[in-house]
Amino acid sequence: MAKGKLFIITAPSGAGKTTLVDALVQQDPQLKVSVSHTTRPKRSKEVDGVNYHFVDKARFMEMLEAGDFLESAEVYDNHYGTSQSWVREQLENALDVILEIDWQGAAQVRNLMPEACFIFIIPPSLESLTERLRNRAQDDEETIEARMQQARGVIEHVAEADFIVVNDDFDTALADLKAIVRSQRLTTIHQQRNLSELLGSLTRG
């Protein structure tokens, strides 16, 4: 039976991960992005079920204790988690799923689903990352410096990924992501499962 592929994409803040993933999904209808659950308050322009599934802490803890999350994390007193049932349902329906999560979440997912493809997006330099964070005009200089310190720590885990994409030129980075997705769909183990009937018919006498 055909089955989808799970992709994990992580990056330091400001590296352009979300913009790249949005463009990738728009051009590939077989790709779906997982929407995380969070206890973080909803911001003014965010939509429940689109940006996040917004839940209170009690509901989140119920789901966590029930084993509903493929991975979960606590960041600045807010909780985040990826629905295990939703991800597995998409994969069983032969859809490919992208998880936009941090490296710690990626490690959790890989422990449960080692066949997942882990992609790390990095900036071309720390200077360009600082400039991108400033251009977003969302944070003061103290916050930007804190994010840069965090980014250095995140990038130290790049060797844990299967692929590295440098987001210097956007179109090139997007083409690299497309190439990775396509290559993963063509691996022998993936094709043997998805093309079992064809392969059987070609080998029968």
Task: Provide the CATH number for the domain around residue 157.
Answer: 3.40.50.300
Q: How many domains does the chain have?
A: 1
Q: How much of the chain, in percent, has pLDDT values that exceed 70?
A: 98
Strands 117-122 and 96-100, by their bridges, are: unpaired
Q: How many secondary structure helices (H) and strands (E) does the chain include? A: 9, 9
Q: Which residues in the chain come in under a pLDDT of 70? A: 1, 137-138, 205
Residue 103 forms part of a structural domain = yes
pLDDT tens, residue by residue, 146-170: 888 888 989 999 999 999 999 999 9
Residue 162 forms part of a structural domain = yes
pTM over 0.85: yes
What pLDDT is recorded for position 205? 65
What is the DSSP-derived secondary structure letter of residue 159? G
What pLDDT is recorded for position 1? 67
Residue 42 forms part of a structural domain = no
By residue range, what is the domain housing residue 142? 6-34+95-203
Q: Residue 160: name the closest of 10, 6, 4, 24 by CA.
A: 10
